[in-house]
Amino acid sequence: MARLKITQTKSGIGGKQNQRDTLRSLGLHKIGQSVVKDDKPEFRGMANTVAHLVKVEEVD
């Protein structure tokens, strides 16, 4: 199964509450921090919600 590497590139400060909550749900707390998640629709949707704050890459 493919996996997604999600890296926070910008701060959630000043953003909407649901965007800040989404960053926390993904496990992101600091700029530059990365997490690796399974490539599932749930995580794709979360990444799309905060697409302007994160960078998403596919990894094996």
Bridge partners (DSSP) of residue 56 are 6
Continuous H helices in the chain = 17-26, 41-49
Q: With 0-12 CB in 10 A as exposed, 13-18 as middle and 19+ as buried, what is 30? A: exposed
Q: Backbone phi, then psi, for 31, in 5-degree steps?
A: -65, 135
Mean pLDDT across the chain, nearest whole number?
Answer: 97
> Is 90 exceeded by the pLDDT of residue 12?
yes
> Is 90 exceeded by the pLDDT of residue 39?
yes
pTM of this prediction? 0.92
Domains, the chain, ordered by start = 3-59 (3.30.1390.20)
C-alpha–C-alpha distance, residues 19 and 53, integer Å: 9
pLDDT of residue 60: 84
pLDDT of residue 34: 98
Q: What's the mean pLDDT in 28-48?
A: 97
